[in-house]
Structure 1
Amino acid sequence: MNTLLLTSSLAQPIVDNIMPIARQNINIMDSQGMIIASGQKHRINTFHKGAKEVINNAQIVEIFPDNLDQYTGSLPGLNMPIVSNGQVIGVVGISGHPDKVRDLARMVKMVTELIIEQEALQEEVRSQYQLRENFAALLLSDHANTNYDKLLKTAKLLKYELDLPRLVLVIDIQPILDLAHKNYGCNDLVSSRARENIVNLISAPPYVTAQDLVVFIEDRLIVLKHFEHKTWEIDYQSWGSDLLQLLRENNIALRLGLGSLVMSYAALGQSYQEALFALNSLNSNNTLATIHDFDILSAYLIKKINITETCQSLQVIKAKLTSNLVRRYDMKNTIVSLLNNNMNISTTAKNLYIHRNTLLFRLKKFKETTGLDPCSSFNHAMLCKILFEE
């Protein structure tokens, strides 16, 4: 654990909280012997010679009424070193005759060091959170591919395997923040506690494992979730549904979007954009959306016309088109002809020189293989057009 720098903003709340219990004035001095916190405000930013002696010798200094002239800026009292991580980082002093406040001073020193130790731990946690958030922000940006060395260095610090297959999940946590602010007030501490509660709730197997990364970006919770390469899309959705159910059981009603599973760290930014698009596509009746939903996917590809070659969810459908069944029934020529004839079954069958029932049979097989039904859905038809464009 890193040694914490003792500052006025940290020290003064300690003084303010302990003084009502101690019923004596308390001073806290920094490593230079300057008073940085006190119950006697006029003494703040003045030099305390007794404290400087404590710093220099790492020993308790007791100041009696008859030796005040030896200690510039001091009053009768007892001054003890504040030790953090094995180092003297400052001094805590309590006013009064040393013989009368000795036991009280020990208690004040112990409480002060415990508060500082807790703050140091929290600061370390905050630093870890900040490191993870900065790492995730770069990983999900357009610059990930050109920052491999930086990403690799941070990944090692976080014990994060950079090249595992992962998808991105995005949860809109604004509703829970709004509720927390309504109940407890609008401040950073309330927001932090609300975020911590959600992370603590989901950060356990099978929802989140050591191979995953959980961060916050603004009012969204982001999970970079590892799945094996051959995992089916239905399994991603099942995982997302289980996560939502866990939140609902704890009276947290949130909504989430899922991107596609990508094989490279450089493609996580696209999975993130897919998850955001899916999340924003949700209507008031649904709480989970995935880029593998054909209606969402087609709308996404129409908006992002330049990514059809790299869109992983589209590649999943394309992979199904390589099956023997698809080749046997000349599916490409069949679907292209159908599109060219505005979904007219009779005209398409005539142009293909096949019976109408043969065409209907092919379309049934096509739906069984890919899940697409272009005759009954405009979005499915748009996906077919994208899939079979030369």
Structure 2
Amino acid sequence: MLTKELANQMVDQTMIRLHHNINVMDTSGRIFASGESIRLQQLHAGAAYVAKTGETLVIEETDIDKWSGSKAGINLPLYYKEKLVAVIGITGSPEELKPVASLVQLTCELLLHQSVVTSEAEWNRKWKDDAITELMMTERLSSETMERLSLAGFQFEAPMYCIVFHCEEKEVPALRRKFEDFFDWSDKVAGVSMTGELIAFTSRLPFLQLEERMNRFLNVTTQVTAAIGKEATSVQELARSLATARVARNHATGRITPFADVELMYLLDQVDPEERLAYAESILVELDAKAKETLRVLFQCELSIQKTADALGIHRHTLSYRIQQIFEETGYHPLHFSEARKLWLALHWLTK
């Protein structure tokens, strides 16, 4: 818990302000950090007494012979969560040191607390990163990882969803901190994968509530998009949720893209590329660029004649003429659903 590096930091920080030598001793009384390097590794009998009793020890010049390895000064216990972990020794006249001794003790305890909290935070980030990487690489979570997640409070209960974020790589650490701070749901795990992606998964959060929280979170971020995978009803399905979230990220249609919004595109894209192109060309081969653009806008406007004409900046009659021409050249009418879907699919595959 109290490393040599931290002990040296305590010595340096307090000596800057106090202008007295500081020693840090372990619970056996051995000096392992000091402003007087010659005293390192020496046994400090006064510190050993403090470590044993938990009491502050004042050593006057007349008492030095009673405490081998000691000098005049004040020796105080250093606690972390009510456990004595070290002893702080301040060298000098006890009368001069008494007004500042408790402040030195408090400063060192605060440095220790900060160090432990930072270390714990780094460890929490690391094992979450490992969990995400494990899910990506092995498509499962080991029993050890699941146990660690459970101990951290994560409950493997449906519905579960994986979320993949997209932003500049340099923004990932800050985005992660924001997500953990602002996404107000306890059953969440966020980690950074080996590929540098920020990935999270949640449990016990219905989709509509997840989407609402994601919207609120993205409102406090910039240049960030997110994709949500298919619902996982068990831990075994989490890898599938992650895979579909990454698919949704690649087909993103807005700041938040659920896999359900792009599932049809994904399924269509599984067809062999050569077969897709052959199908598209067989239907659209007679159409020029203007006709294809007319089709694209027509489908984008959900087959609304007025909206399409407005979007293209043409008269309704002109649009009707173009639609009739497309029918005559392809044999499929863009306003008849069963035929329009073939035209839409051909247009989609032609532009892939």
Same fold (TM over 0.5): yes
Q: Which amino acid aligns with 2:138?
A: D
The equivalent of 2:262 in structure 1 is 293
The number of residues matched between the two structures is: 302
Query: Residue 378 of structure 1 aligns with which residue?
Result: 349
Cα distance between partner residues in 2 of 1:299 and 1:6? 59
CA distance in 1, matches of 2:72, 2:233: 69
Per-residue Cα deviation, 1:307-347 (whole angstroms, up to 9, x for no partner): xxxxxxxxxxxxxxxxxxxxxxxxxxxxxxx96994479xx
Q: Distance in 2 between matches of 1:279 and 1:361?
A: 29
TM-score (norm 2): 0.69
- 1:197 to partner: Cα distance: 4.1
Taking the aligned partners of 2:159 and 2:4, their CA distance within structure 1 comes to 47
User: Residue 295 of structure 1 contacts residue 379 of structure 1 at CA under 8 Å; is this kept in 2?
Assistant: no
Q: In structure 2, what is the Cα distance between the partners aligned to 1:212 and 1:173?
A: 20
* 1:184-207, Cα deviation, whole Å (9 max, x unpaired): xxxxxxx5xx35642355322xxx
How far is the alpha carbon of 1:107 from its aligned partner? Answer: 1.7
> Shift of the alpha carbon at 1:20?
1.8
Alpha-carbon distance between aligned partners in 2 of 1:269 and 1:173, rounded to the nearest angstrom: 22
Once the two structures are superposed, what CA deviation does each residue of 1:19-47 show, in whole Å capped at 9, x if it has no partner? 12222111111112122222223323332
Alpha carbons 1:299, 1:379 under 8 Å: kept: no
Alignment of 1:273-284 (within 5 A): 273-279=243-249
Unaligned segments of structure 1, at least 5 residues: 179-190, 304-337, 346-354, 383-390
Correspondences of 1:1-390 after superposition (within 5 Å):
5-144=1-140, 147=142, 149-177=143-171, 194=174, 197-204=177-184, 209-218=185-194, 219-226=196-203, 242-248=216-222, 253-279=223-249, 291=259, 292-293=261-262, 297=266, 301=270, 342-343=282-283, 360-364=336-340, 373-378=344-349
1:131 and 1:154 map into 2 onto residues whose CA distance is 9
Contact 2:23 2:33 (C-alpha < 8 Å) held by counterparts? yes
**Identity in percent:** 20
Give the 3 Å change call, closer, same or farther, for CA 195–78 of structure 1 in structure 2.
Answer: farther
Q: Offset of 1:92 from its aligned partner? A: 0.3
Task: Determine the C-alpha separation between the residues in 1 that align with 2:334 and 2:58.
Answer: 102
Aligned with 1:62: secondary structure? Answer: strand
Q: RMSD of aligned C-alpha atoms?
A: 4.1
Q: CA deviation at 1:152?
A: 4.4
Residues 35 and 67 of structure 1: CA distance in aligned 2, closer, same or farther (over 3 Å): same
Corresponding residue SS for 1:59: coil
In structure 2, relative to structure 1, the CA distance for the partners of 1:75 and 1:239 (3 Å cut) is closer
SS in 2 for 1:160: coil
Query: Where does the alignment leave 5 or more consecutive residues of structure 2 unmatched?
Result: 273-277, 286-330
Give, as a single letter, the amino acid of the residue that structure 2 aligns with 1:213.
V
TM superposition shift of 1:95 = 0.8
Aligned partner letter, 1:13: Q
CA-CA distance at 1:224 after TM superposition: 1.2
Helix, strand or coil at the partner of 1:102? helix
Larger Rg: 2
Supply the AA of the counterpart residue of 1:271. S
Q: How far 1:378 moved relative to its partner?
A: 0.7
In the TM superposition, what is the alpha-carbon distance from 1:258 to its structure 2 partner? Answer: 3.5
What amino acid sits opposite 2:240 in the alignment? Answer: Q
Helix, strand or coil at the partner of 1:13: helix
- TM-fit CA distance, 1:268: 1.9
Conservation of the 8 A alpha-carbon contact between 2:80 and 2:109: yes
Alpha carbons 1:164, 1:263 under 8 Å: kept = yes
Deviation at 1:83, TM superposition (A): 1.8
CA distance in 1, matches of 2:176, 2:334: 59
1:133-187: CA deviations, max 9, x gaps?
3344434442527x3x435433431222214123322224545449xxxxxxxxx
Q: TM-score, normalised by structure 1?
A: 0.63
Partners of 1:272 and 1:374 in 2: CA distance: 27
Q: 1:91 to 1:300 in 2, by over 3 A?
A: farther
Most deviating of 128-137 and 58-67: 128-137
Question: Aligned letter for 1:198?
Answer: K
Q: Is the 8 A contact 2:24 2:87 kept in 1?
A: yes
Task: Report the CA distance between 1:302 and its aligned residue.
Answer: 6.1
1:237 and 1:375 map into 2 onto residues whose CA distance is 32
The structural deviation recorded for 1:97 is: 1.5
Which residue identity does 1:375 align to in structure 2? A
Residues 27 and 199 (structure 1), Cα distance of their counterparts in 2 relative to 1, 3 Å cut? farther
Q: Which residue of 2 aligns with 1:181?
A: none
Give, as a single letter, the amino acid of the residue that structure 2 aligns with 1:293: V
Q: Could you tell me how far apart the structure 1 residues matched to 2:265 and 2:116 are?
A: 46
Q: In 2, Cα distance between the equivalents of 1:51 and 1:104?
A: 19
